[in-house]
Amino acid sequence: MPASTFMSSDAIRAAFSAAMSVMYRQEVPAYGTLMELVSDINAATLQKQPALRASLEATETLDRISEERHGAIRLGTEAELAMMRRVFAVMGMFPVGYYDLSEAGVPVHSTAFRPVDEASLRINPFRVFTSLLRLDLIADPQLRVAAQKTLGARRIFSDDAIALVEKAERDGGLSRADGERFVAEVLNTFRWHEEASVERALYDRLHATHRLVADVVSFKGPHINHLTPRTLDIDAVQDEMPKRGIVPKAVVEGPPSRACPILLRQTSFKAIEERVSFPDAEGNLVGGSHTARFGEIEQRGVALTPKGRSLYDRLLNETRAKVRPAADGSNAQAYGAALKESFVTFPDDWNAIRMAGLGYFLYSIVPGADFSTLGGDEIEALVEAGVVRFDPIIYEDFLPVSAAGIFQSNLGDAVVQDFVASPNQRLFEKALGTFVLNEFDHYARIERTSIEQCLAAARAVSAAA
Ligand code: OOG
Ligand code: NI
């Protein structure tokens, strides 16, 4: 088949993200309530801020502003991760970043599968934060073996899904009909299974090790555990949640609210308790409950350089040393105040952030700019002369401390078990079957390319003059 008749990987991803949204709203009605709230707040924010509206109108599709930006799954085995990489590749999603959550007491390590180039991000930015369970962190050897056996026996992808992945790899793409079948088949992998695949006693032992271990091992597949639309005002959504009957987590993760947003702010409603059933030795089903699935929202800002990121990390640590957010929200105000106070030292002006080398920016030529008297050797001279402008490059990745906060609040915060951290990126990449893209290198490359393009254009104009 000629490549031009393939369904584009961007279109497959957009269809997948839309199908996930519909499925998750049916599975978790509170998520539907959150989506309505987000869309109301986004509409109100656009009405109150005409300048924001104008800038979004120029750069994005306004009617899709409240769509999902990411979701998350947790896998049980290396083979599942390797196959998942191939599934996401069909949708134009590639592994970016490595997150070792064991450092924060969560026994997984993770990457984010996401579109990488700007054009694909614009069409549909959907990402899936994908974690692999660290069975080696289960201390009890007997339990570890039982978990391994359970996971080894399950098949999370249908034969048709695998066949379509192989076809896409062989032919370089899928027809529209195959692309649609692929979405429907793959969607099943992320479905919720009310019926556990382990007996109650094993579930309880897994749960006692870590709630996350029970969530990954006890079910037939890696159910999507949350989806995350984008909000234009995260604080307003956080405040409104209780009025709509949903319980927000104690605090918003990430930086405080600022004039120039940095990185990523996130919050969620607390995971719901759901009825599940466990098979017993006689094959009868016994009732129980499981708490894992929730809804989240995000608001993104500029990607930070390693220097900016280490300042961010230092200020966040400083805040948490002063006030550690309690799970019940009792010190949420004090935490918010401490966060604001610490971040006073982080410049809150785009040019100051840029001049201090804290963030990544995209440089572009101002339309109609007059270059005639300028050479093309120094980007700064072009910026000062007003012929080149700079805009923040949005952070498209995740934050380990925030992710840990999201995990914890949705697994019951009461017991925060500790696991010994060890850097396992190599092992993770071996299981994945490829390297993950380093997010800092990626943003640096986008910035550098934009600078080179501006300089080349300026040189061409001054040579012709
Ligand atoms: C993933 C938590 C991480 C985020 O937004 O930081 C995440 C999980 O709970 O499986 O999605
Ligand atoms: Ni998330």
Q: Which of 219, 270, 406, 409 to mutate to test the pocket of ligand 1 (most atoms within 8 A of CB)?
A: 406
pLDDT for position 261: 96
| Predicted pLDDT at 108 | 94
Please write the tens of the pLDDT for every residue from 214-231: 999 999 999 999 999 999
Q: Which of 129, 131, 219 to mutate to test the pocket of ligand 1 (most atoms within 8 A of CB)?
A: 129
Q: Is the pLDDT of residue 361 over 90?
A: yes
Q: What is the pLDDT of residue 84?
A: 98
Q: What pLDDT was estimated at residue 41?
A: 96
Backbone angles phi, psi at 175, to 5 degrees: -65, 170
From the CA of 126, how far away is ligand 2's center (Å)? 12
323 C-alpha vs ligand 1 centroid, how far in Å? 23
Ligand 1: residue whose CA is nearest its atom 2: 403
Expressed in angstroms and rounded, the spacing between residue 55 Cα and the centre of ligand 1 is: 29
Tell me which residue has its CA closest to atom 5 in ligand 1: 403
**Cβ atoms 325, 409 nearer than 8 A:** no
User: Tokens representing 199?
Assistant: 């007996």
pLDDT at 463: 74
Confidence of residue 457 (pLDDT cuts 50, 70, 90): confident
Confidence class of residue 64 from pLDDT cuts 50, 70 and 90? confident
Give the per-residue pLDDT at 412: 61
Query: How far is it, in rounded angstroms, from Cα 172 to Cα 371?
Result: 44
Ligand nearest to the CA of 109: 1
Is residue 55's pLDDT more than 90? no
Residue 401: what pLDDT? 81
3-state secondary structure of 139: coil
User: What residue segments make up the domains of the chain, in order of their start?
Assistant: 3-303+398-434
pLDDT confidence of residue 421:
45
Q: What is the pLDDT of residue 105?
A: 83
| pLDDT for 158 beyond 50 | yes
Ligand 1 centre from 226 Cα, in Å?
8
Confidence (pLDDT) at 6: 96
Q: What is the mean pLDDT of residues 260-264?
A: 96
380 contacts 244 by C-beta, under 8 angstroms: no
CA distance 283 to 297: 40
Nearest CA to ligand 1 atom 6: 403
| Ligand 1 atom at minimal distance to the Cα of residue 406 | 2
Q: In the predicted model, is pLDDT for residue 33 greater than 90?
A: yes
Q: What is residue 318's predicted lDDT score, i.e. its pLDDT?
A: 94
Top pLDDT among 464 and 261 is at 261
Phi-psi region at 97: left, alpha or beta (left = phi > 0; alpha = psi -120 to 50): left
Res 26 pLDDT > 90? yes
Q: What is the pLDDT of residue 164?
A: 98
The answer to whether the beta carbons of residues 290 and 303 sit under 8 Å apart is no
Lowest-pLDDT choice from 63-77, 395-409, 411-425: 411-425
Q: Quick one: which atom of ligand 1 is closest to the CA of 410?
A: 9
| Residue 101 to residue 191: CA distance in whole angstroms | 25
> What pLDDT is stored for residue 422 in this prediction?
52
pLDDT at 414 over 60: no
Higher pLDDT, 128 or 386: 128
pLDDT digits (tens, 9 = 90+) for 111-133: 999 999 989 998 999 999 999 99
Ligand nearest the Cα atom of residue 404: 1
Whether 125 and 115 have beta carbons less than 8 Å apart is answered as yes
- pLDDT tens profile 401-410: 888 888 777 7
Mean pLDDT (whole number) for 439-458? 94
With tokens 């920016």, the residue in question is 361
CA 129 to centroid of ligand 1, rounded, Å: 6
How far apart CA 253 and CA 112 sit, in angstroms, is 18
Beta bridge partners of 300: 264
Percent of the chain scored above 70 by pLDDT? 95
| Region 304-333 average pLDDT | 93
pLDDT for 411 equals 67
Region 298-319: what's the mean pLDDT?
95
pLDDT at 369 over 70: yes
pLDDT digits (tens, 9 = 90+) for 172-208: 999 999 999 999 999 999 999 999 999 999 999 999 9
Predicted confidence (pLDDT) at residue 2 exceeds the cutoff of 70: no
Is residue 444's pLDDT more than 50? yes
Picking from 301, 309, 125, the residue whose alpha carbon sits closest to that of residue 228 is 125
Residue 415 has pLDDT above 70, yes or no: no
Distance CA 331, CA 278 (A): 38
**Is the pLDDT assigned to residue 419 strictly greater than 90?**
no
Please state, for a pLDDT cut of 90, what percent of the chain lies above it. Answer: 79
Least confident of 16-30, 260-274, 398-412: 398-412
Q: How many CB atoms lie within 10 A of CB 299?
A: 21
Task: Given CATH 3.10.180.80, say whether it is the number of domain 3-303+398-434.
Answer: yes
Query: What was the pLDDT predicted at 194?
Result: 94
pTM: 0.94
